[in-house]
Amino acid sequence: MIIDCHGHYTTVPAAHTAWRDGQLAAFGAGTATPRYPVISDDEVRESVQGQLDLMAERGIDLTVFSPRASAMAHHFGDETVSAEWTRACNDLVHRVTRLYPDKFAGVCQLPQSPGVPIGHSVGELRRCVEELGFVGCNLNPDPSGGHWTGPPLTDRSWYPLYEAMSELDVPAMVHVSASVNPSFHATGAHYLNADTTAFMQFLQADLFTDFPGLRFVIPHGGGAVPYHWGRYRGLADMLGRLEPDQGVLPNVFFDTCVYHQPGINLLFEVIGTGSILFGSETLGAVRGIDSRTGHHFDDTRRYVDALGLSEEDSAKVFEGNARRVYPRLDRALRARGL
């Protein structure tokens, strides 16, 4: 079985996006939020058909599916606006998972807002996991949208969420949203900055001593981390920390959302198959065709297949690691006899 750990609902029905525009306009005008539109099951089916076609074409059996990351936009509106938008996005993802239970497993966004205690997000996490059957969450380490006004992920202010994640036995993918800082292009800089920053924060602190079972997925191949692994090993030594493969990797995993073969080669050489989950971010950040290869940039299965992994290592990367990191997904698959 091939599980894609990194999929976003980037093709939502137009009425959903229009409602968001109306919600933000109402907030700016100080008027009531418009009523959420009626979206039919057929509209939902039509919206994900392109995703399903690509999954079939690339041999992907199931996608771990979450709301569009760039549209989380926690920096817009206030806490109430974020909560309304988050619930609408998560409910729409749930409809996809209900219509296609064999193809999609839900992961929720959280109703984060700059300066609002993360504990206020726990209720939505519980609702999505316990009522909607979601298997994890996306955690934005910078709700300010590129200004990084909050504390690091290892600060104790995050602990109420980590306590809930530990109790529910769900992981978080560390994923920022859009950037309003003109210095940081969202997908080309802000995303990768956040991936790299999160890893360094984990390296510096004792979060996993306090929460030994906590699990994070750092997407986009870990940002700059694999390329600069020697730097992080050296910093760990200078700071009196454990080597990163001992102090961080037991709890932190990378995906394969790296869109060229040399990058995938390096990721696997440095990090190893035990800490890598297959992911493609389809449909996502980079949708074009590579003029040098004639294949889509985000067809990451092609790069992994080219590594010539053993059957055992392939099974880890394509399926086993995802089932280990997302135990609720594993239980759901076992319940279906998989």
Who contacts 333 (Cβ-Cβ below 8 Å, separation ≥6)? 1, 323
Asked whether the CA dihedral 234, 239, 245, 248 is positive or negative, the reply is negative
Three-state DSSP class for residue 15: helix
- The span from the first CA to the last CA of the chain, in angstroms, equals 9
- Cα separation, 297 vs 321, in Å, equals 23
The Cα–Cα gap between 23 and 236 comes to 46
Beta bridge partners of 108: 137
CB 157 within 8 A of CB 151: yes
Containing 291, the helix (H) or strand (E) segment is none
User: Is 269 one of the catalytic residues?
Assistant: no
What is the rounded distance in angstroms from the CA atom of residue 12 to the CA atom of residue 44? Answer: 7
State phi, psi for 25 to the nearest 5 degrees. -65, -40
Instruction: Please tell me which residue in 281, 311, 312, 319 is annotated as part of the active site.
Output: 281
Q: Name the DSSP letter for residue 187.
A: I
Residue 73, SS3?
coil
Q: Give phi and psi for 283, each to the nearest 5.
A: -80, 130
Residues assigned a catalytic role? 281
